[in-house]
Amino acid sequence: MTSAHILILDDDADVATAAQLLLRRRYGQVATLSDTSALPALLARGVPDVVLLDLNFTPGRINGAEGLALLDLLRAQTQPPAVIAMTAYADVPLAVEALKRGAGDFITKPWDNARLIAAVDQALARRAALRGGAVGSPELMGESRAMRELKALIASVAPTEANVMVLGENGVGKELVARAIHAASKRAAGTLLAVDMGALPESTFESELFGHRKGSFTDAKADRAGRFQAARGGSLFLDEIGNMPLAAQAKLLTALERREVTPIGADKPEAIDVRIISATNLDEARLFDPSVFRADLLFRLNTIVLRVPPLRERREDVPLLAAHYLKLYEAQYQRPARNVSAAAMDALARHDWPGNVRALRHACERAVILGQGTEYGLADFALATSGAAVVASAGQEAGLAPAIAAGAVAGDMTLEAIERSAIAATLSQFNGNISHAAKTLGISRAALYRKLGKHGI
């Protein structure tokens, strides 16, 4: 069970209870609220991690104005919750407006259980990343030559309408690059909607991206707008594009070539107005392998290619990044500010960081939590920890003893920290390939995605 606080805001008690029963089996605390006037008092006691927000509360009203006002209240909190908008009326302009005001996703009622759970998992992952500073940093950090060149390219490319492909290893900050491109573009007032293409089941690919009409298949109980429609006027960030099956690639290619999509069950296509920003951690040579990725789709996506440098190629940025994350976690965990010893900082800068900025962030978090001295020493960052022994038995209950032993050597890491370390090391080993990492860890792709959300990886 993932420890999280979920709040369901819906005037229909039956709907709220159904969602509560579904989510309570997976998350620690799931509350419901039908009286919106009680929301300010509830927020004063503590802000939830995720809010499922109905957009209409007064019978007969379907314009979503009440829900949008509540969304503004939620987003105004010091540490706002991740918000998933819910409505029985899958109106595209309303969904777009909710996304513009800060909702991270939207669900149409009646919902598909798997879809709702996936939306909550992704919302938790996004909030964890934002609180950790990986995605929510106001700018790309780094003053190295490589980062200055990347920022200059972003400034040149962003104002255009060209599709952009962002390449880079796992953990370098590809989504942050996508957000920087969108923020500096002419579409900045619109939505940047991120879609994890590697997490989309092939069976629901068209429904998720292109939408569907009521009755078009067994569970299609209402019209649903797809991601292309919801991002209209903005940017669509297609993450993990390299993990798409070839059949799904063909469908995406058709949509991009025609600049239109046809919702499942619809008679007519709908024009699309989005800028595509895609990202993958696949090696460029593999991208040009026709058994992995279609060349015609690649040429549609890579009008402009931005390569995000790994941390080992910009070591001079390590002190700046380390100082940022140490300060962030000192504030988050209410720990005293401490300097990093000269020897430790030198070791951090010389380290290869196979997990890149994400790995450095995790090391800084660990140092803040476990460090005991008047300054941070090398041992606090556990750079000597070998992930191999941990990875070998991760996900298998019978193999926990060696993993625990490895964690103890690193400084009495908790079982949760060991699991997090194992997952991060395995992802790094396979350059972020979810399928290969899940197989090595002995768990399903879905389980791995849940754990990524749990640990904010």
Q: How would you class 3 by CB atoms within 10 Å of its CB: exposed for 0-12, middle for 13-18, buried for 19 or more? A: exposed
The token pair that represents 10 in the structure block = 């819906």
Q: How much is the average pLDDT of 349-357?
A: 92
pLDDT category of residue 90 using cuts at 50, 70 and 90 = low
pLDDT at 155: 87
Residue 117 predicted with pLDDT over 90 = no
Question: Rounded to whole angstroms, how far apart are CA atoms 424 and 437?
Answer: 9
Backbone phi and psi for residue 292, each to the nearest 5 degrees, phi listed first: -110, -45
Residue 280 predicted with pLDDT over 80 = yes
pLDDT at 131: 53
Beta carbons of 440 and 430 less than 8 angstroms apart: yes
Residue 189 predicted with pLDDT over 90 = no
Backbone phi and psi for residue 239, each to the nearest 5 degrees, phi listed first: -85, 160
pLDDT at 412: 44
pLDDT at 127: 67
Question: Rounded to whole angstroms, how far apart are CA atoms 250 and 143?
Answer: 40
Percent of the chain surpassing pLDDT 90: 36
Helix or strand holding residue 304 (H, E): strand 304-307
pLDDT at 433: 74
Beta carbons of 134 and 358 less than 8 angstroms apart: yes
Residue 68 predicted with pLDDT over 70 = yes
47 versus 140: the higher-pLDDT residue is 47
Helix or strand holding residue 356 (H, E): helix 356-370
Which of these, 345, 437, 370, lies nearest to 362 by C-alpha position? 370
Beta carbons of 412 and 418 less than 8 angstroms apart: no
**Which of 36-50, 103-117, 157-171, 252-266 has the lowest average pLDDT?**
103-117
Pairing of strands 27-33, 304-307: unpaired
Q: How much is the average pLDDT of 15-20?
A: 89
pLDDT at 414: 62
pLDDT category of residue 116 using cuts at 50, 70 and 90 = confident
Q: How much is the average pLDDT of 67-88?
A: 85
Beta carbons of 235 and 193 less than 8 angstroms apart: yes
Within 46-112, residue ranges assigned H as helices are 65-75, 92-100
Residue 225 predicted with pLDDT over 80 = yes
Q: How much is the average pLDDT of 144-157?
A: 90
72 versus 277: the higher-pLDDT residue is 277
Q: Does the predicted TM-score (pTM) go above 0.75?
A: no
The token pair that represents 17 in the structure block = 């209870």
pLDDT at 391: 38
pLDDT at 394: 36
Q: How would you class 221 by CB atoms within 10 Å of its CB: exposed for 0-12, middle for 13-18, buried for 19 or more? A: middle
Question: Rounded to whole angstroms, how far apart are CA atoms 93 and 223?
Answer: 14
Pairing of strands 164-167, 82-87: unpaired
Task: List, for residues 388-412, the tens digit of each pLDDT value.
Answer: 333 333 333 323 333 333 343 344 4
Q: How much is the average pLDDT of 147-156?
A: 90
Helix or strand holding residue 141 (H, E): none
pLDDT at 237: 95
Count of positions (residues) in the chain: 457
pLDDT category of residue 276 using cuts at 50, 70 and 90 = very high
pLDDT at 420: 80
pLDDT at 317: 94
Helix or strand holding residue 324 (H, E): helix 318-332
Residue 36 predicted with pLDDT over 60 = yes
In the chain, the domains with their CATH numbers are 2-115 (3.40.50.2300), 145-307 (3.40.50.300), 313-455 (1.10.8.60)
Question: Rounded to whole angstroms, how far apart are CA atoms 297 and 241?
Answer: 11
Residue 355 predicted with pLDDT over 50 = yes
CA angle 209, 215, 219 (to 5 degrees): 70
Distant-in-sequence, close-in-space partners of 61: CB < 8 Å, separation ≥ 6: none
pLDDT category of residue 98 using cuts at 50, 70 and 90 = confident
Q: How much is the average pLDDT of 127-153?
A: 68
444 versus 380: the higher-pLDDT residue is 380
Average pLDDT along the chain? 82
Question: Rounded to whole angstroms, how far apart are CA atoms 223 and 62?
Answer: 15
The sign of the dihedral angle between the CA atoms of 413, 418, 424, 429 is positive
DSSP classification of residue 225: -
Q: How much is the average pLDDT of 25-44?
A: 87
pLDDT category of residue 129 using cuts at 50, 70 and 90 = low
